[in-house]
A and B are shown apart, each in its own frame.
Chain A
Amino acid sequence: MGDHQKIVVMACKHSAGEALRELQREGWALPDGVEWVELPCGGSLDELHILRAFEAGAAAVLVLACYHGACRSLDGSRWAEKRVQAIQEMLAEIGIEQDRLEFRNIAPTMPADLASWVEALHRRVLAPAGE
């Protein structure tokens, strides 16, 4: 997947979205090649959204949803994780490394974690191709 120069982050607006806005207030910006897709809830993530992102050339997809139990829609983050797992299995079957699709739980109070996860994924997936 070295030819593709994009990471797609699919993120719940209530947790990851708030964390991103906090980072932006502090002057942090998403690295080049990282596309942020904000979801009304992790539960609104569909398996097809992930597959379409890969089809459109994403080298990796990061899904961010609230901690289980903190989801405003009750089970939205659990469903998001389930769907990510289903697509990870599918990716393995079609010969794409499963770690190209990550799921993480996040809270609005975790901007530092968000920055670190995005930067780490960027280094792992995009930076080698750019070197």
Chain B
Amino acid sequence: MIVAERKPLSEIIAKVEGYNRLLIVGCNTCVAVCQAGGEKEVAMLAAALRLRFRDRQPAMEIIERSVERQCEEEFNQVLAEDIAHAEAVLSMACGVGVQTLVEQFPDAIVLPAVNTKFMGRPEERGVWSERCIGCGNCVLDKFGGICPITRCAKSLLNGPCGGSENGRCEVDPENLECAWQLIYDRLARLGQLDRLLEIEPPKDWSTARYGGPRKIVRKDMVL
């Protein structure tokens, strides 16, 4: 899922203090699961902003909404009336959701309330970590299902480097496991250590973000 976290309130306050009618829109998919921008987080942010601006005259009007997937226009259609009424929209969705609102409602001022961090998974309650950078050419089969591009700080395809010590990464030994130690352990478990004898050629990064914004067109789904 896409993992995000709410921006500092001071930053959000600075963005919205010039408006009197604010619509806060959450997204009940990824950012709800990582508790950054779902229905509850919308309610908490709205409450915090009401408290912050409670002495203001005229009072700031704050409308709270949440849609199932802000990255799909169909789910956002119910927002049309509220968006027309609001002076600004504070989106608690990921950057994709924010931009969907912008494209769908071109006259609306849409402000991001969360920082979109990465594609990852919850490791335990309250802890999320990155698992995929979306390089566009998945190589997980070659590395025992552990992505060296995402989980190795240097994205090495022929690791490990000299910074691997006791299974930890030199970049942040306390928090980062060495991806190549994980790959080695996993391949050993699978009886596939011989895979490590293969030299990986340089990766073609044109399928990743470095080839520019990406797009998929499924001809079988387009009339």
Q: In the complex, are the beta carbons of A95 and B52 less than 8 A apart?
A: yes
Query: How many Å lie between the Cα of A61 and that of B220 in the bound state?
Result: 59
Q: In the complex, are the beta carbons of B51 and A51 less than 8 A apart?
A: yes
Instruction: Convert B37-80 into 0s and 1s, putting 1 for each residue whose CB lies closer than 8 angstroms to a CB of A.
Output: 00010011001111110000000000000000000000000000
Interface size on B (CB < 8 Å)? 13
B8 CB-CB contact with A under 8 Å:
yes
Chain B residues within 8 Å of A48, by CB: 40, 43-44, 47
Q: Which of A107-130 contact B (CB under 8 A)?
A: none
Q: In the complex, are the beta carbons of B50 and A55 less than 8 A apart?
A: yes
Q: Which of B163-197 contact A (CB under 8 A)?
A: none
Chain A residues within 8 Å of B43, by CB: 48
Query: How many Å lie between the Cα of A64 and that of B52 in the bound state?
Result: 26
Chain B residues within 8 Å of A91, by CB: 51
How far, in Å, is B199 (CB) from chain A's closest CB? 49
Instruction: Convert A63-88 into 0s and 1s, putting 1 for each residue whose CB lies closer than 8 angstroms to a CB of B.
Output: 00000000000000000000000000
Query: How many Å lie between the Cα of A48 and that of B49 in the bound state?
Result: 13
B161 CB-CB contact with A under 8 Å:
no
Query: How many Å lie between the Cα of A93 and that of B51 in the bound state?
Result: 11
Q: In the complex, are the beta carbons of B48 and A51 less than 8 A apart?
A: yes
14 A-B contacts (beta carbon < 8 Å): A47-B44, A48-B40, A48-B44, A48-B47, A52-B47, A54-B51, A55-B50, A55-B51, A90-B44, A91-B51, A93-B9, A93-B13, A94-B9, A95-B52
